[in-house]
Structure 1
Amino acid sequence: MNINEQIIKELQRIEQQEQVRILYACESGSRAWGFPSQDSDYDVRFIYVRPVDWYLSIFDKRDVIERPISDMLDINGWDLRKALNLFRRSNPPLLEWLSSPIVYLEKYSVAERIRAISPFTFSPKSCMFHYLNMAKGNYREYLQGEQVKIKKYFYVLRPILACAWIEQKGTMPPMEFDELVAQLIPEGSSLKSSIRRLLERKKAGEELDYEPRIEPINQFLEQQIAHFEKTAVQLAANGGGLDKQLDELFREALAEVFNSE
């Protein structure tokens, strides 16, 4: 059994155990970003619905499904109602799921309908702050000092380039690291050469542990973090709205799933 078959089988098991219907499942981690290690987990994320009666309750209920990591599978999912509430606030992880280049399962029309209206809920400000905080946290923890954990460069570069994409294009950045580098880093620069060498080493399966810091990348990251700290506060806080449409989408998704069975 290959890994895709194993993932589908596990998703089917979750449907049976939890009495849910999975609408969409994708890869969300380093494999989707384009820089997995040989021992990287498969970070599977999914959106699901329960039967209508489950929602007709005066009680708050758990709206996530999580499974312990096993056999390199890290599988978690969100109830559709939770996902739509986060979507209306321009939640970057959810928007990434919906644009993942690795889709394991997509049933029914709901994922495509959410994608179609995502430009209307996209908030440049909240998304840039999300990526900026991620970059700052990883930079502070892993990339200070003379010796740094160099594989962590990717976990600062990617969110910083996502900030640059939002600033320049005003849209949700793509998940793929290669595309961000290709479009945002000048060709022929020492920075691009340093990033490409590092990426080649990681894709070749080298164990990237502590090594001397890479000065062109550190200088770039420090400059960009300082720049986006000033830029993020000035961005438009768009997003939100569409409450009626999202209510309708939720009801119609339930009808589509359970009326088709």
Structure 2
Amino acid sequence: MQDAVVAEIRSRLEQLARRERVTIAFAIESGSRAWGFPSPDSDYDCRFVFVRPLAETYTLFPARDVLEEPLTEVFDINGWELSKAIRLLLKGNAVILEWLNSPHAYGEVPGFRDAMLALAGQVGDRNLIGRHYYYLCREHVGRCFRDPETTALKKLFYLLRPLFAVQWLDAHPDAVYPPMNFHALRAGIDIPAAVTDEIDTLLARKAETRELGEGRIPPVLASYALQAYDRAGHWRRAVAVDQERQVLADRFWREWTERLAPSGLAVRPARAD
């Protein structure tokens, strides 16, 4: 994390908050830097959750629930409105959980992340979260094994991370969600030594080179990934969100919206769609 880049991201977030008239509840680094396997040329994936003024929140014509900065080779900055983040949490989308657990914060309202993590422990459904990671596995299995002789090798990490997540959930039946960090996931499951050696070799290369390039998936990794993916098929099942969880989530949304909403602002004109 380069100090100059971090300072620039914080400056851009401050400008965005003023321009859009929002409060940023928290902003963190996501992507490979937070997951634990960056490359020298990894961009910065800043993610945030924001709250609009009450007049723009309690309306029949709400503004967009996503905000973003123009994408560049260095900066990828975007965020969700709080209601969107909570609805996706209820549906088992693990992205917001990863944001909440990121080790790199650009800024946050004191107490907010802890409060939302506590909510996640109450309303998060491990079955839905496991399902999220299973289908992420399926997506990356398709990408990596479309042509296993000429796969972009860095994509293997985007397959292994959700694969380790479902294995971690299998190994920790009382947990609601797995760690976001790749190394913490590895530490919490049993992985054959030969597989560990291959992963360590690729990690070392990825940390030193700008591009791993294309090549054949190491056979020991290919065999392990496909067998583990087959065993994870039970995560396709999901359960519906019960009413009690919706009530808790709605209560949290109302409380923090009222606490964080910018005040003294005029109503944004409705769009003529």
TM beyond 0.5: yes
The 8 Å contact of residues 123 and 238 in structure 1, kept in 2 or not, is answered as: no
Q: Distance in 2 between matches of 1:44 and 1:61?
A: 21
For residues 206-217 of structure 1, the aligned pairs below 5 Å read 207-217=211-221
The 8 Å contact of residues 119 and 249 in structure 2, kept in 1 or not, is answered as: no
Equivalent AA in structure 1 for residue 127 of structure 2: K
Q: Distance in 1 between matches of 2:261 and 2:230?
A: 50
Q: Which range moves more in the overlay, 17-26 or 249-258? A: 249-258
The 8 Å contact of residues 49 and 82 in structure 2, kept in 1 or not, is answered as: yes
Q: Which residue number corresponds to residue 161 of structure 1?
A: 164
Equivalent AA in structure 2 for residue 104 of structure 1: Y
The 8 Å contact of residues 85 and 96 in structure 2, kept in 1 or not, is answered as: yes
Q: Distance in 2 between matches of 1:190 and 1:95?
A: 31
Counterparts in 2 of 1:218 and 1:47: CA distance versus 1, 3 Å: same
Q: Which residue number corresponds to residue 34 of structure 2?
A: 32
Equivalent AA in structure 2 for residue 82 of structure 1: K
- Give ranges in structure 2 of 5+ residues lacking alignment: 265-273
Q: Which range moves more in the overlay, 250-259 or 16-25? A: 250-259
For residues 22-171 of structure 1, the aligned pairs below 5 Å read 22-70=24-72, 72-143=74-145, 144-170=147-173, 171=175
Q: CA deviation at 1:76?
A: 0.7
Q: Normalising by structure 1, what TM-score?
A: 0.90
Match of 1:220 among 217, 220, 224: 224
Equivalent AA in structure 2 for residue 203 of structure 1: A
Identity of aligned pairs, percent? 32
Equivalent AA in structure 1 for residue 221 of structure 2: I
Counterparts in 2 of 1:60 and 1:50: CA distance versus 1, 3 Å: closer
The 8 Å contact of residues 48 and 80 in structure 1, kept in 2 or not, is answered as: yes
- Give ranges in structure 1 of 5+ residues lacking alignment: none
Q: Distance in 2 between matches of 1:252 and 1:259?
A: 14
Q: CA deviation at 1:64?
A: 0.9
The 8 Å contact of residues 108 and 257 in structure 1, kept in 2 or not, is answered as: no
Q: How many residues align?
A: 258
Equivalent AA in structure 1 for residue 248 of structure 2: Q
In the alignment, does 2:231 pair up with 1:194? no
Q: Normalising by structure 2, what TM-score?
A: 0.87
Q: CA deviation at 1:178?
A: 1.2
In the alignment, does 2:259 pair up with 1:252? no
Q: 1:93-113 CA distances to partner (integer Å, 9 max, x unpaired)? A: 111111111111111433211
Q: CA deviation at 1:6?
A: 0.8
